[in-house]
Amino acid sequence: MFPTDLDYFALTEFRHPELMYEPFVRWLDKVRGVAAVAFVITDDARAEGDPNPTGSAGKHSLHRRGRAVDLRSRNWTASEKWRVVAAIFDLADLAPGKVELEPVYSATDEHLHVGADETATEHRFLQALE
């Protein structure tokens, strides 16, 4: 069940709110508050029949478990990007799993992949390769 008592996120900001892992959504809501930056989610949980985007982790993606989102970052200023990443680092140990952070830049896309992996043993910074 998607939480209705969040400070910043609304149900309508997610494509598949019913598939999102509630503790992850609550943690992400805290990150948004600390960063004080508007978040636009471009990808959240993926349903069984949803295709995997090129370059994704496929069936092993945290999106498949409702534990990851992609945040549009192309419109953020350098200062806003800094605040978002700083908030993620500051709140990482409160996440429901180890944080996975990946800035993605291509000719057609710029977003920040943020996830929380309950099976990981350490936080990790990933690098997308185009």
Distance CA 28, CA 127 (A): 21
pLDDT at position 42 is 94
Q: For 22, what's the count of Cα atoms within 13 Å in the CB-facing half-sphere?
A: 6
**Long-range CB contact pairs, 105-109, < 8 A, 24+:** 105/130, 106/130, 109/74
Longest CA–CA separation in the chain, Å: 39
Classify strands 98-105 and 110-117 as parallel, antiparallel or unpaired.
Answer: antiparallel
pLDDT tens, position by position, for the chain (130 residues)?
799 999 999 999 999 999 999 999 999 999 999 999 999 999 999 887 766 555 555 566 899 999 999 999 999 999 999 999 999 999 999 999 999 999 998 888 899 999 999 999 999 999 876 5
Q: Where are the domains of the chain?
A: 11-125
Instruction: Report which of 39, 37, 38, 4 is spatially closest to residue 20, judged by C-alpha positions.
Output: 4
CA 36 to the chain's CA centroid: 16
**pTM of the predicted protein model:** 0.91
Fold classification of 11-125 is: Muramoyl-pentapeptide Carboxypeptidase; domain 2 (3.30.1380)
Structure tokens at 25: 């959504």
Instruction: Report which of 110, 103, 111, 98 is spatially closest to residue 62, judged by C-alpha positions.
Output: 98
